Structure 1
Amino acid sequence: MKWTYKTPGIPDELFIRGKVPMTKEEVRAVTLSKLRLEEHSTMIDVGAGTGSIAIEAAHICTKGRVIAIERNIEGIELIKANSEKFEVDLKIIHGKASEKLKELDSFDRVMIGGSGGELEKIINICYDKLKENGICVINCITIETLYEAIENLKKNGFCDIDVISVNIARGKALGRYTLMEGLNPIYIISGIKNKGRQ
């Protein structure tokens, strides 16, 4: 199916799902806004899961390139299935991000959704590989990972570090009433590589 809208936020239920975690549509929309993608951007999705963010990015980077890295084989299969369903061209890489990132050329944007416990190493590599004014965005759910992300962005020299907490509640029908049901809070951290401002 083609996603014909210009705005991000493909409904969750349209994706082929498995046991692999997926970034919810509202969080995806905010994450994409922080990435500041352009049609010629090369964007890397680290820990791509079902491929939801990579697929949304591919709708924006129509003259660029989107690469999804995932270490879970079920995730790889889901990314392939979803990219076919939404008719987008992704480069899909199976393996550990800390190893696979080293094999890539420079890129404009990177989104880190999963790190396999190697966040510091991944941020280090991403700083080296990002072009000047490139943007790194990290999504996490724990306070410990939030702290680690901020500290490592600072240590590597990222500028304009931005931290937000996203709390989403969705309406759920309960008889003739609507109950607001909360999703897990998500932290979204971003930073810009700008050597001229260090």
Structure 2
Amino acid sequence: MLWDYRTPGIPDELFERTEEVPITKEDIRAIALSKLRLREGHSAIDIGCGSGSITVELCLQTKGGSVYAIDFDQKAVELTKKNLRKFGANAEVILGKAQDVLPKLPQVDAVMVGGTWGDTRQVIELAASKLKKGGRIVIDTILVETMYQALAAVNELKLAEVDITQITISKARKVTTGTMMLARNPVMMISATRA
């Protein structure tokens, strides 16, 4: 097995990647997965699956459960499928807009929202409607406007245990005179529970 650990945070370089399809970086992924509070047998949805890095990790964390991945970009869907094969993971990968796909999916224990394509409120409302009682939702974004809309939606839905975290990560890079730290884009993350 390519990743034979129980911990999330598979190194980015182990995933197949392309310039056109985004990946949630390993450190952000590890934090997001910890906030989803997953168990074996749980079911989950990954909205805006991109490269499939979160989808793969959801599969590994919910061993024996059902995972659904959604993206409107054909390249993302193909890359997610490729990464699932590479890690020996199994998920249902669906090409389409979250607004069209979510109503057809079953209730789940966890939803990861990584992309809303400008329809933040509607996507979060639909995502929350798919959560079982006690289910967790995590929304991550780099845009302040998306965070504002996401927080408004979470408050309107009266979700419980709302947590807002801004994550700023720097990674080391060797240079001729030593090691320097390079900052990555800050990520804002909301996590909450369906009461």
TM-score by length of 2: 0.97
Q: Where do 1:30-69 residues align within 5 Å?
A: 30-69=31-70
Structure 2, gaps ≥5 residues long: none
**Correspondence for 1:122:** 123
How far residue 176 of structure 1 moved from its aligned partner, in angstroms, is: 3.5
Q: Which residue of 1 aligns with 2:166?
A: 165
Cα distance, 1:127 vs. partner?
Answer: 2.2
Post-superposition CA distance 1:53-103 (Å, at most 9, x none): 010111111121111101100001100110000110111000000110000
Superposition deviation, residue 157 in structure 1: 1.4
Matching of residue 178 in structure 1 with residue 170 in structure 2: no
Q: Output the CA distance in 2 between the equivalents of 1:127 and 1:86.
A: 29
Counterpart in the other structure of 2:10? 10
- Which residue number corresponds to residue 22 of structure 1? 23
Matched, 1:73 2:74: yes
What are the Cα deviations for residues 106-154 of structure 1, in whole angstroms up to 9, with x where unaligned? 1110000001111111111122221101111001001111111111001
**One-letter code of the match for 1:21?**
P
How far has the Cα of 1:2 moved from its partner? 2.6
Aligned to 1:102: 103
Partners of 1:101 and 1:72 lie apart in 2 by 16
Query: Separation in 2 of the partners of 1:191 and 1:161?
Result: 4
**Which secondary structure does the structure 2 equivalent of 1:49 belong to?**
coil
Cα separation, 1, equivalents of 2:168 and 2:17: 23
Identity rate, percent: 40
TM-score of the aligned structures, taking structure 1 as reference length: 0.96
Distance 2:152 2:91 in 1: 31
Tell me whether 1:192 sits opposite 2:193 in the alignment. yes
**Counterpart amino acid of 1:2?**
L
Equivalent residue pairs, number: 194
| Partner Cα distance (1:183, 1:127) in 2 | 29
Distance in 1 of aligned mates of 2:150 and 2:191? 9
Deviation at 1:163, TM superposition (A): 0.4
